[in-house]
A and B are shown apart, each in its own frame.
Chain A
Amino acid sequence: MTQPLHYLKETPSQTAGPYVHIGCTPNFTGITNVYAEDLGTSMVNDQTEGARITVKGTVYDGMGAPVKDALVEIWQADANGFYNSPSEMRGAADPNFTGWGRCPGDMETGEFTFETVKPGIVPFKDGRPMAPHITFWVVARGINIGLHTRMYFPDEEAANNADPILTRIEHQQRVPTLIAKKEGDVYRFDIHLQGDQETVFFDI
């Protein structure tokens, strides 16, 4: 006999379902008299440091149809590479930048939009720099457990080529699924749940 380990089990996930907006973005679905504003709507204010960027994208299913009921959250470092979180021990993040955004897909097109800043460089566990990136988390009807991925920047080729995570991906032809496309002033990051272009998702 040994001592029991006594760990608890993580609560199992269940799909966010089609009505996730009621709980997470009620104003978006017309429930406007409960919260003043939906959480995660704005990440920046007029004093936020760094280069303003717009990130847009659409989540697609295995047939290439837009997922119109998806809810997307992002989490990222500020322009200097610091996270606005108590667990950030390396330095003080920009108090005018939340680092966290939440956006439901447009009910007609499925498109999401984030107005944010370009994140700085954050170190990997061994101290090597990671290329600038934004963490994405996607839930929707039909997704049993939230999907984590990362968006990298197309104008950071050298940093991407040296990134400790991107370089570790066995099938290098899948790396472009993690790199946004520059369209004018907008970074487009489409997420493919399945199929030939299936986005690399992480078990983090």
Chain B
Amino acid sequence: MSNKKVETGAFYARDRAWQPPAYTPTYKTSVLRSPRKALLSLDNTVSEITGPVFGHNQIGELDNDLLLNFSETGELPVGERIIVHGRVLDERGVPVSGALIEMWQANAGGRYRHKKETYLAPLDPNFGGCGRTITDENGFYSFRTVKPGPYPWPNGVNDWRPAHIHFSVFGNGFAQRLITQMYFEGDPLIWKCPIVRSIPDEAAVKQLIAPLDMASTIPMDSLSYKFDIVLRGRRSTLFENRREGN
């Protein structure tokens, strides 16, 4: 695949001031689902440094095409056609190749295809709402979908989620495991959302807002949004595990 040397260093400590805390009472469900005791800090062992890898052979041809991967008839879903693309990098700026990305989203009307979903917006018979892809040797990924709609949710009396796509990402160590959400440039609901505001730092929130990327749009076909994802970086192992006298 590539001539890159396999890395085995421990991951940089997570910046817990940049990440959302567990307890964020304006997002009510977090109140009873947040650990209240201090986390036990653990410099990585081999159990955290290693992680599963997924092969391109595990991924189907249409897995990253949400316009086509659900409909049995080949009919297209309703909504704005968009391409979402970007890179997975680590904190050092090193591209993460072979990263599995799974994404899920509501349809253009803000409705999810899920047993527990109750919003009155209709299902789209041609849209499933899930996809997956693996980054290439330079960390690039892309997928095609429709822009999801915003939707109301039971939290405050009148809370609405901004349009968003959920992302689940595997790097190459289990300590890099991450689930997040991508938002769309210009959406006025972003800054009102209690889930977005679980992130304390405004600059951190901006890291989740994908800009419109005219360079990557396909004329007369699809708009494009660019979303780069950063996973934890790894230390060099050069000076580790060398005990005196060895």
Residues on A facing B (Cβ under 8 Å):
6-24, 26, 29-31, 33-35, 39, 61-63, 65, 67, 69, 73, 75-77, 83-90, 98-100, 107, 122-125, 130, 133, 135, 137, 139-148, 150, 165, 168-169, 174, 193-194, 198-204
Contact = CB atoms under 8 A, between A and B. Distances in A.
A169 B37 CA distance: 12
B140 interface: no
B19 to A, nearest CB: 5
Given A22-B130, A137-B177, A143 B33 contact: yes
A145 to B, nearest CB: 5
B209 to A, nearest CB: 11
Contact of B130 (A26, A62, A69): A26
Interface string B1-36: 000001110010111101111101001011111111
A12 B207 contact: yes
Contacts of B60: 35
Contact of A200 (B30, B40, B181): B40
B45 A122 contact: yes
Contact of A125 (B32, B45, B181, B195): B45
Interface of B: 6-8, 11, 13-16, 18-22, 24, 27, 29-37, 39-54, 58, 60, 63, 69-70, 72, 89-93, 102-104, 112-117, 128-132, 166, 168-169, 172-175, 177-181, 195-196, 198-199, 203-205, 207-208, 229-233, 241
A35 B104 CA distance: 13
A20 B178 CA distance: 13
A194 B32 contact: yes
B73 to A, nearest CB: 12
Contacts of B195: 14-15
